[in-house]
Structure 1
Amino acid sequence: MTSDVKKPRRKRHAERPDIKEALLDATETLIREEGYAAATARRIASKVGLKHQVIFYYFGSQDELLAALFRRFADAQNERLKAALNSETPLSSLWHLHRDPESTRFTLEFMALANHNEVIRSEIAKNAETVRSMETEAVERHLRQRGIEPRMSPQMVTILTNALARLLVQEASLGIHLGHEEARRLSDASFAAFEAMGATIGGVEPIIDAMETGEPLGRDAG
């Protein structure tokens, strides 16, 4: 005779946040030290003394683990970005933030991974749209406060700032430094010129003018 009393389901073990964070930390360490290709499930799990199946228990897949790591990194970067854009020197702060070699190299690892990983590509694209909007709005706001009508759009300013900063870091990591000092001086002068200007000099375009002359302009210029 069979009993129709259902057996209670075996309870799933509760997830431990400390293990989840440890897996993210281990993945980040591997990517920073050896590149994204080193971040395999087995190597990640071994770093925290566990079997590789733990990756799938906590994240479902290795792709989701990498996506979670990117989101964690992007959230931290975006908090730094907000602080930079809300400072008294938004363009200089943005420039120096994107020139940070450690964070830029980490970003480049994810961009390389995105070439053949749709999950990561989607995460990067979504975050990039958010960041571009934040930066454009901030540059537009600061230009407006200074009474400046630029020939170069705020969006283009942010694109060029990001592109140049990323290029300098990428080339420096390969041992390429030719022209870097001149590019840094010109950019520093351009941003300092913009941030030295006040609303009393409406119509002056310090970013473009300083890029053409290479000379910082003071408050009494114009």
Structure 2
Amino acid sequence: MTDSDKGQRRIGSPDAKNRTLLLDAAEQLLVTLGATAVSSRRVAEQAGLKHQLVHYYFRTMDDLFLAVFRRRGDQGLADQAAVLASPQPLWALWRFNTDPAGTALTMQFMALANQRAALRAEIADYAERLRAEQIEAVAGLLQRYGIDTQEFPPTVLMVLMTSASRMLIIEQEALGMTLGHAQTVEFVERWLHRLEGEPAGEAAVLTESAAH
């Protein structure tokens, strides 16, 4: 064994059950306590494991945070692919972007990224992959719906839609601010109705309600 090999500490398997428990614990602590309160000892306690196991699976806290983010990021990419393949992709994409479920965790990742360059780069890469897939899909949709893509560039529309939807969530969840929200949602959804009609889920609910 070389000196270099001796200096390299063994890292646990990425598929190990304890590693998953640590990721789950770190994610829960990020949401409930915030980024500044998450330590290796707290993560271990939350997972019900020995403190030493955190650094058996993750060399540093940066590595742990990156693993938590990558797991969420991979799930987000898979979820968006399903959204874009749905019968009403624009409606589905709007619902996907306005879902407040992941906002708390996203905000904590943004806070961590201010101090961790590797995480900041990872978030930027993930966000660009999401947006690139959105733009590619929406470009085809606009052509199918007979929309002039010179007048309404898919890239600009996606930046506006995703930025507006995320800002609506952040303002309401973090600040309790709602001024202009209803009007913005009404504007976007009026255009979605024109392009894709009544959202399938809502149409089913309305039909069922009318029957009763």
Q: State TM-score, norm by structure 2.
A: 0.82
SS in 2 for 1:178: coil
SS in 2 for 1:136: helix
- Larger deviation: 142-151 or 167-176? 142-151
In structure 2, the gaps of 5 or more residues are 1-5, 198-212
Q: Contact (CA 8 Å) 1:46, 1:52: kept in 2 or not?
A: yes
SS in 2 for 1:152: coil
Residues 24-46 of structure 1: per-residue CA shift (max 9 Å, x gap)? 00011111112222221111011
Distance 1:14 1:56, change over 3 A: closer
Tell me the equivalent position of 2:162.
162
Kindly provide the amino acid, as one letter, of the partner of residue 179 in structure 1. G
The reply to whether residue 145 of structure 1 matches residue 144 of structure 2 is yes
Matches within 5 A, 1:3-22: 15=13, 17-22=16-21
Kindly provide the amino acid, as one letter, of the partner of residue 182 in structure 2. E
Kindly provide the amino acid, as one letter, of the partner of residue 114 in structure 1. A
Tell me the equivalent position of 1:208.
none
Distance 1:147 1:190, change over 3 A: closer
Q: Which has the higher helix share?
A: 2
Tell me the equivalent position of 2:189.
188
Q: Quick one: distance in 1 between partners of 2:56 and 2:81?
A: 34
Kindly provide the amino acid, as one letter, of the partner of residue 153 in structure 1. P
Matches within 5 A, 1:49-88: 49-88=48-87
Q: Quick one: distance in 2 between partners of 1:14 and 1:67?
A: 16
Alignment coverage as a number of residue pairs = 186
Moved over 4 A (4+): 12-16
Q: Contact (CA 8 Å) 1:84, 1:90: kept in 2 or not?
A: yes
Distance 1:105 1:161, change over 3 A: farther
Alpha-carbon shift at residue 94 of structure 1 (Å): 1.0
In structure 1, the gaps of 5 or more residues are 1-8, 197-222
* Larger-Rg structure: 1
Q: Contact (CA 8 Å) 2:11, 2:56: kept in 1 or not?
A: no
Superposition RMSD in Å: 1.8
